[in-house]
Amino acid sequence: MKYISTRGGGGERSFADQLLSGLAEDGGLYMPTHWPHVSAAQQAGFRDQPFAETAAALLRLYTDVSWHEALPRMTQEAFAGFSAPEVAPLRRLRTPSGQPLWLMELFHGPTLAFKDIAMQLLARLMNHALTARQSRATILVATSGDTGAAAVRAFAGQAQLQLVVLYPHGRISEVQRRQMTTAPDANVHALAVDGSFDDCQRMVKALLCDQAACRRWQLAGVNSINWGRVMAQLVYYFTALAQLPQAEEREASFAVPTGNFGDIFAGYAAARMGAPIARLIIASNQNDVLPRLLASGRYAPQQVSATTSPAMDIQWPSNLERLLFDAGGRDAGMVRTAYAALAEAGAWQLPPDLQRALKARFDAETVSEADAADAIRRWHGQGEGQGVLLDPHSAIGVVAAERQLDKGDGAGRLVSLATAHPAKFPDAVEAACGERPQLPPDLAAALNAPERMQRLRASTDALHSMLADLCG
């Protein structure tokens, strides 16, 4: 498998090349040159094998042969520490109207968020590539909370790299912040940016497009701009389908709490590989740039509003570029035109055929703060004899799923992604339902550990200067 830029420049790259860069030199995102196909017979085999084995089988399709021997070891190591043996188990719920709804729990990793599934694997993939090249790297991470925490847990202490994490100051939960700022490892640097996640992401992208900076510090990215993240996340769409009860109707739909569009794009990738996915439901908070895009065809980012679901407080979702490229017939010229228009005018109108293509596969729901809090309250204490405690992001996914069920879409085969443990957002959960979720002991200790962080202006020049101080 080779990789190309969504903006058409630079020719083809190997898996290792794109893994250790993040962004393409022309500012685009890397995409595989084609979608490998996974047959129905192969997918049936996933029902009888562990998550790590399924991951290794799917990752082989996106790597070259030099990786194949090491992949089973890396996937086994990546998921060995998860608290659920299934890694991403399904939980059967029933809505008040009696309709079945499946909750895919993606928070059983070491930092209690779905980002662990990809980040634990990505750390091993990057370490393997760096070791083979006898090289070092400086990893830049822009985070709205969970990505940074997962990266710190996965990359802390690795001698051959520096990890620089940018998060929006005052816009993430205390638990999220402390998971990044209490790491004692010398290779971890937490930067509190005076701005939004979009500002953090813009700064990281600018540095990754600066070839002189990339050469000086051997820069790499592990946000979902890195294809390795998306590749790892598509695995659990296949395993979810394998866990569902077998019925005449094989297709299922997925409701996905959506911010930077990486998690739901992984579902799109799985569908393009042959996974029987009927609909992908964009579940958005009030930062509803994606529902507005789907409804009107106009991509027009606005000012970010701070909410109790900070991972979704985004107006410039990076992985939308991958979707526009692929759903638009892999037209790199169209993508260049779109992002040039966004840079100049702050908005861009989808071609009508592209808007129809998106509507053919996606639905979208905007969920208010009040509706998310109400869902946490309603589901607390329900769930076939067990309480269901949702974090605000997962609650948004469940509300979107309930609305789709009310419309008659996906009945009996609808999976909602639970992307974070409620203990990561204890204030919001307690305010909604009166119960304060408890952190596991190892994470609770972080609440009393000393913090290390530096404040940073929302400026690419400021980040450049900071890297010079940190990395020389």
Assign 249 a pLDDT band (cuts: 50, 70, 90). Answer: low
| 15 against 385, higher pLDDT | 15
Structure tokens that stand for 182 in this block: 């209490």
Q: What is the mean pLDDT of residues 4-33?
A: 95
Residue 466 included in any domain: no
Please tell me the chain's helix, strand, coil percentages from 3-state DSSP, rounded to the nearest 5: 45, 15, 40
pLDDT tens by residue, 205-231: 999 999 999 999 999 999 999 999 999
Residue 121 included in any domain: no
Residue 298 included in any domain: yes
What whole-number percentage of the chain has pLDDT above 70? 97
Average model confidence (pLDDT) across the chain: 93
Assign 119 a pLDDT band (cuts: 50, 70, 90). Answer: very high
Write the CATH number for 304: 3.40.50.1100
Q: Going along 243-289, which residue ranges are E strands?
A: 252-257, 277-284
Q: Does position 96 have pLDDT exceeding 90, yes or no?
A: no
Q: In Å, how far from its chain's centre is CA 57?
A: 21
> Residue type for 147, please?
T
Q: What is the mean pLDDT of residues 416-434?
A: 95
Residue 120 included in any domain: no
Assign 385 a pLDDT band (cuts: 50, 70, 90). Answer: very low
pLDDT value of position 144: 86
CB 22 within 8 A of CB 225: yes
pLDDT value of position 412: 55
Distances from the Cα of 199 to the Cα of 286, 304, 369, angstroms: 18, 10, 23
pLDDT value of position 246: 81
pLDDT value of position 326: 98
Closest C-alpha to 244, from 405, 84, 90: 90
Closest C-alpha to 241, from 275, 265, 210: 275
What domain range includes position 326? 78-112+232-433
Backbone angles phi, psi at 46, to 5 degrees: -65, -20
| Domains contained in the chain, number | 1
Q: Does position 68 have pLDDT exceeding 50, yes or no?
A: yes
CB 223 within 8 A of CB 200: no
Angle at 197 between CA 195 and CA 201, to 5 degrees: 105
What whole-number percentage of the chain has pLDDT above 90? 87
Helix (H) or strand (E) holding 315: none
Assign 300 a pLDDT band (cuts: 50, 70, 90). Answer: very high
Residue 94 included in any domain: yes
Closest C-alpha to 264, from 285, 289, 284, 286: 284
Residue 449 included in any domain: no
Q: Does position 383 have pLDDT exceeding 50, yes or no?
A: no
Residue 346 included in any domain: yes
Known catalytic residues are 115
Structure tokens that stand for 357 in this block: 């293509």
Residue 327 included in any domain: yes
